[in-house]
């Protein structure tokens, strides 16, 4: 089966920033993304959980997109313009897809 190389970018940020981040992804030319709620985890500040939170202010989300390698640097620059001043984790990995026209 024929596969096509792409880049997968995953962004973990505070939920209130998700709209601003997806607007940046749109401006960078990303064709699509998924926003997933996170229920808990552990990082440099220790363990955290969304259980019992009364507002979205302390919730976290993961935003995942897949894009061409030639667009990835521009996407990372747009993402960093937000994450550099806020809580957040950004990772990028090489992936292959079966339908390149979707990305």
> Which residue ranges make up each domain of the chain?
4-40+58-102
Is the pLDDT assigned to residue 50 strictly greater than 70? no
Exposed, middle or buried: residue 11 (CB in 10 Å: 0-12, 13-18, 19+)? buried
- Of 42 and 30, the one with more pLDDT: 30
Under 8 Å between Cβ of 21 and 60: no
What is the CATH code for 4-40+58-102? 3.30.70.120
pLDDT at 13: 94
When the pLDDT of each residue in the chain is averaged and rounded to a whole number, the result is 88
Q: Shortest CA distance to 6 belongs to which of 67, 63, 65?
A: 67
Alpha helices in the chain (DSSP H): 18-28, 69-83
Q: How far is CA 53 from CA 19, 60, 88, in A?
A: 20, 11, 19
């Amino acid at each position: 089966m024929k596969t096509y190389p792409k880049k997968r970018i995953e962004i973990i940020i505070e939920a209130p920033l998700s709209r601003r981040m997806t607007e940046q992804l749109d401006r960078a030319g990303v064709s699509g993304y998924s926003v997933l709620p996170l229920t808990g985890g552990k990082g440099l500040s220790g363990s955290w959980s969304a259980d019992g939170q009364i507002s979205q202010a302390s919730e976290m989300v993961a935003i995942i997109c897949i894009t061409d390698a030639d667009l990835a640097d521009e996407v990372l620059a747009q993402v960093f313009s937000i994450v550099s001043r806020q809580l957040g984790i950004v990772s990028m990995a090489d992936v292959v897809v079966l339908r390149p026209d979707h990305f």
